[in-house]
Amino acid sequence: MSAASPRRRRRLVPAAAIALACFGLGLGAGALMPPAEGWPLVAGTEVAVATPTAGSSATPDPAASSLAAITAGAVPVEDRTPEIQVTTLDLDDPASFTVVVNKVRPLDPLDYVPADVVTLDAVPGGGTMRAEAAAAMTALYEAAAAEGAGFTVSTAYRSYDLQSSLHAGYSRSRGYDAADRFSARAGYSEHQTGLAADIRADGCDLEPCFADTAAGRYVAEHGWEHGFIVRYPADKEEVTGYIYEPWHLRYVGRPLAKAMRDSGAATMEEHFGLAFAPDYEP
Ligand SMILES: [Zn+2]
């Protein structure tokens, strides 16, 4: 099993698709669609042009999403057409929608505070998330509710201080090591990015039974359509560092969510070839 790496290197992954949403060049979709076998993945190559972070469109656009079929896979330089604008997925910047946070990849800075957190006004339970993630969560909720699979947000954005007190509370009641299996230490939580939310339904609150509720099934199947992934899948504790949490949704943006669905990678660590994060570094 891959052990925790020493210090992580800055990692930029090229992606052809991200820039498409802001293209505005009126190009026919056909010219931009990938070949049937998809673009080859060139993970880890640094081809930095622009970062797809804040400032992109607020709501996932179903019309644009077909273009997002060109996703985390990059197009080799020699195969690029002039129309395809290569950009990067930033896995390190805490403000990036594709930041990877786990037990060996703390937020930098540890006390990071997202700048554009808004209230989830139209979703039961409320809470706050970054603006684009909140819009996507609202769309996901409305789509789920229309199918009889509505849910309630338990918590979404959590500050460093709140995460710190949560972990301390769990450590007191369950023991420090046990707490680490389901609760992140402050500075290591996806909730602190403003891109994650815990949801519940049918009285199943933060338990594996959530996966068997209508809401749990809906978000597992359709979350990607709104840019969400179930971040801590079953049987991946050695990869993510966390037990199965079917209730913990992470916004990564639709292009990456679709790319992971297409690649079959269950976790961000596996999709990007990152070191596994079963535990904190000593
Ligand atoms: Zn969570």
Instruction: List, as one string, the DSSP characters of 40-53.
Output: PP-TT----S----
166-222 pLDDT, tens digit each = 999 999 999 999 999 999 999 999 999 999 999 999 888 999 999 999 999 999 999
**50 in a domain, yes or no?**
yes
If asked whether residues 66 and 127 sit together in one domain, one would say: no
If asked whether residues 158 and 258 sit together in one domain, one would say: yes
- Count CA within 13 A, CB hemisphere, residue 14: 18
For residue 163, count other CB atoms closer than 10 A to its CB: 19
82-140 pLDDT, tens digit each = 444 455 799 999 999 999 999 999 999 999 999 999 999 999 999 999 999 999 999 99
If asked whether residues 24 and 163 sit together in one domain, one would say: no
Helix (H, G, I), strand (E, B) or coil at 224: helix
Residue 10 Cα distances to 102, 108, 111, 119, 282, angstroms = 15, 12, 19, 32, 21
Domain range for 55 is 6-90
If asked whether residues 74 and 127 sit together in one domain, one would say: no
If asked whether residues 152 and 86 sit together in one domain, one would say: no
**66 in a domain, yes or no?**
yes
Nearest to residue 24, comparing CAs of 81, 62, 64, 59?
64
From the CA of 267, how far away is ligand 1's center (Å)?
15
If asked whether residues 73 and 212 sit together in one domain, one would say: no
If asked whether residues 73 and 134 sit together in one domain, one would say: no
If asked whether residues 132 and 211 sit together in one domain, one would say: yes
* Predicted local distance difference test score (pLDDT) of residue 84: 46
**95 in a domain, yes or no?**
no
| Six-digit token string for 237 | 């504790």
Number of structural domains in the chain: 2
Residue 187 Cα distances to 90, 94, 190, 191, angstroms = 18, 11, 9, 10
pTM score: 0.73
If asked whether residues 84 and 121 sit together in one domain, one would say: no
157-176 pLDDT, tens digit each = 999 999 999 999 999 999 99
From the CA of 252, how far away is ligand 1's center (Å)?
14
If asked whether residues 22 and 130 sit together in one domain, one would say: no
From the CA of 198, how far away is ligand 1's center (Å)?
5
Question: Can you tell me the distance from the alpha carbon of 39 to that of 126, in angstroms, rounded to the nearest whole number?
Answer: 39
